[in-house]
Amino acid sequence: MSLLCSVTPLSQEFVSLNMMPPKRRNYSDDFQTPEYAIKPLLPYLKEDWIIWECACGKGNLVRALENHGFKVIGTDIKTGHDFLQWKPDKFDCIVTNPPYSLRYEFIKRAYELGRPWAMLMTLTTLEGKRQKLFREYGIQLLLLNKRVNFETPSGKGSGAWFPVAWFCWKLLPKEIMFGDL
């Protein structure tokens, strides 16, 4: 079962709308995650979980998770399902690459929902006001051995000039782990 940026199952090909959320003024938040980036996280996801990809964009992570046998709900603000205000009736875990300009809000909301989560974010996420949340609730890091080559609006990989990691909560067996892409 897959829900790609909708609340009903879709069998047709994913349709992308060119609307940006209100806080995003340009495409600097539009870094679509390549499917291979999910690989290091797979051993920590339970096979029977329903995974919510709440910032699905073009659906790359949704497809990657489905290709590995997971049930996935893929939503996005572009379809009126704002992660900061809406949630599906049933889900077990959140896996997403959130818009970086909304990292704090996404992290705070994920903690509030109380389910395990994993967010692919820049290492600079460890800085600033987010530290207060990490100190209060805890954080786990799955550090990657290479940089992720994100898909950008130009259609080309960015050659990622920034390192990222899977920031997790209640998902990994240790606070800091290492994964290979």
103 backbone dihedrals φ, ψ, rounded to 5°? -55, -50
The residues with which 95 forms a beta bridge, in sequence order, are 118
Q: Can you tell me the distance from the alpha carbon of 56 to that of 97, in angstroms, rounded to the nearest whole number? A: 8
Average pLDDT for the chain: 84
Cα(61)–Cα(114) distance, integer angstroms: 22
Closest CA to 50 of 87, 104, 102: 87
Coil vs helix vs strand at 22: coil
CA dist., res. 70 & res. 49, Å (int): 7
**pLDDT tens sequence across 38-78:** 999 999 999 999 999 999 988 999 999 999 999 999 999 88
Residue 141 pLDDT level (bands cut at 50, 70, 90): very high
Structural tokens at position 81: 């399902």
With CA atoms as reference, report the closest residue to 75 among 47, 95, 92: 95
Instruction: Report the C-alpha gap between 138 and 134 in whole angstroms.
Output: 5
pTM recorded for the entire structure = 0.83
| Burial of 76 (C-beta count, 10 Å sphere; 0-12/13-18/19+) | buried
Confidence of residue 16 (pLDDT cuts 50, 70, 90): very low
- The answer on pLDDT for 125 being more than 70 is yes
The domains of the chain are located at 2-9+29-179
For residues 141-154, give the mean pLDDT.
Answer: 87
CATH homologous superfamily of 2-9+29-179: Vaccinia Virus protein VP39 (3.40.50.150)
Q: Are 62 and 53 in contact (CB under 8 A)?
A: yes
pLDDT at 26: 46
